[in-house]
Protein backbone atom coordinates (compact mmCIF):
# COMPACT_ATOMS: atom_id res chain seq x y z
CA UNK A 1 0.00 0.00 0.00
CA UNK A 2 1.40 3.34 -1.02
CA UNK A 3 1.14 6.46 1.14
CA UNK A 4 3.11 8.85 -1.05
CA UNK A 5 0.23 11.29 -1.59
CA UNK A 6 -0.87 11.40 2.04
CA UNK A 7 -0.02 14.51 4.00
CA UNK A 8 -0.99 15.94 7.35
CA UNK A 9 -1.75 19.69 7.44
CA UNK A 10 1.01 21.80 8.97
CA UNK A 11 -1.34 23.05 11.70
CA UNK A 12 -1.92 19.48 12.90
CA UNK A 13 1.07 17.69 14.37
CA UNK A 14 1.01 13.96 13.66
CA UNK A 15 0.19 11.79 16.67
CA UNK A 16 2.85 9.36 15.58
CA UNK A 17 4.56 7.54 12.77
CA UNK A 18 4.40 3.87 12.00
CA UNK A 19 7.51 2.12 13.27
CA UNK A 20 7.46 -0.24 10.30
CA UNK A 21 6.71 1.95 7.25
CA UNK A 22 7.15 5.51 8.58
CA UNK A 23 3.70 6.76 7.55
CA UNK A 24 2.42 9.62 9.80
CA UNK A 25 -1.04 9.44 11.40
CA UNK A 26 -3.15 12.27 12.86
CA UNK A 27 -4.43 10.22 15.81
CA UNK A 28 -3.03 7.38 17.87
CA UNK A 29 -6.17 5.32 17.19
CA UNK A 30 -5.52 5.49 13.46
CA UNK A 31 -1.89 4.53 14.04
CA UNK A 32 -2.87 1.52 16.15
CA UNK A 33 -5.45 0.39 13.58
CA UNK A 34 -2.91 0.80 10.76
CA UNK A 35 -0.33 -1.32 12.55
CA UNK A 36 -2.86 -4.07 13.24
CA UNK A 37 -4.15 -4.15 9.67
CA UNK A 38 -0.96 -3.58 7.68
CA UNK A 39 1.72 -5.13 9.93
CA UNK A 40 -0.02 -7.84 12.00
CA UNK A 41 2.94 -10.24 12.05
CA UNK A 42 5.26 -7.63 13.57
CA UNK A 43 3.09 -6.64 16.56
CA UNK A 44 4.04 -7.49 20.12
CA UNK A 45 1.40 -8.50 22.70
CA UNK A 46 0.74 -4.95 23.93
CA UNK A 47 0.31 -3.61 20.39
CA UNK A 48 -1.99 -6.51 19.52
CA UNK A 49 -4.15 -5.83 22.60
CA UNK A 50 -4.29 -2.12 21.70
CA UNK A 51 -5.31 -3.04 18.14
CA UNK A 52 -8.09 -5.36 19.29
CA UNK A 53 -9.40 -2.70 21.68
CA UNK A 54 -9.29 0.02 19.00
CA UNK A 55 -11.03 -2.29 16.53
CA UNK A 56 -13.83 -3.00 19.02
CA UNK A 57 -14.27 0.73 19.63
CA UNK A 58 -14.36 1.38 15.89
CA UNK A 59 -16.96 -1.37 15.38
CA UNK A 60 -19.11 0.10 18.17
CA UNK A 61 -18.94 3.55 16.59
CA UNK A 62 -19.81 2.08 13.18
CA UNK A 63 -22.77 0.17 14.63
CA UNK A 64 -24.05 3.37 16.26
CA UNK A 65 -23.68 5.28 12.97
CA UNK A 66 -25.60 2.58 11.09
CA UNK A 67 -28.45 2.64 13.62
CA UNK A 68 -28.67 6.43 13.42
CA UNK A 69 -28.69 6.29 9.60
CA UNK A 70 -31.43 3.64 9.66
CA UNK A 71 -33.47 5.74 12.08
CA UNK A 72 -33.10 8.79 9.87
CA UNK A 73 -34.23 6.82 6.80
CA UNK A 74 -37.26 5.44 8.65
CA UNK A 75 -38.24 8.93 9.81
CA UNK A 76 -37.76 10.33 6.31
CA UNK A 77 -39.84 7.52 4.80
CA UNK A 78 -42.72 7.99 7.21
CA UNK A 79 -42.47 11.77 6.88
CA UNK A 80 -42.93 11.50 3.12
CA UNK A 81 -45.71 8.95 3.63
CA UNK A 82 -47.59 11.32 5.96
CA UNK A 83 -47.01 14.24 3.58
CA UNK A 84 -48.40 12.18 0.71
CA UNK A 85 -51.42 11.16 2.82
CA UNK A 86 -52.16 14.79 3.68
CA UNK A 87 -51.62 16.24 0.19
CA UNK A 88 -53.22 13.46 -1.86
DSSP 10-38: TTSPPSEE-TTT--EESSHHHHHHHHHHH
| Structural domain includes residue 2 | no
Nearest Cα neighbor of 18 from 2, 37, 32, 1 is 32
Which domain range does residue 56 map to?
A: 16-87
Average per-residue pLDDT in the chain?
88
Tens digit of pLDDT for each residue in 9-41?
Answer: 666 667 788 888 888 888 889 999 999 999 999
What distance in Å separates the CA atoms of residue 34 and residue 14, rounded to the nearest whole number?
A: 14
| Structural domain includes residue 46 | yes
pLDDT at site 10: 63
| Structural domain includes residue 79 | yes
pLDDT at site 19: 87
pLDDT at site 79: 97
Domain count for the chain, please give it. 1
| Structural domain includes residue 5 | no
**Banded model confidence at residue 2, pLDDT cuts 50, 70, 90:** very low
Q: What is the DSSP letter of 5?
A: T
Amino acid sequence: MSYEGTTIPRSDAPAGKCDYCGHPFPTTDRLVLHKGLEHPQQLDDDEEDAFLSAREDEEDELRTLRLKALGALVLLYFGFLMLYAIVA
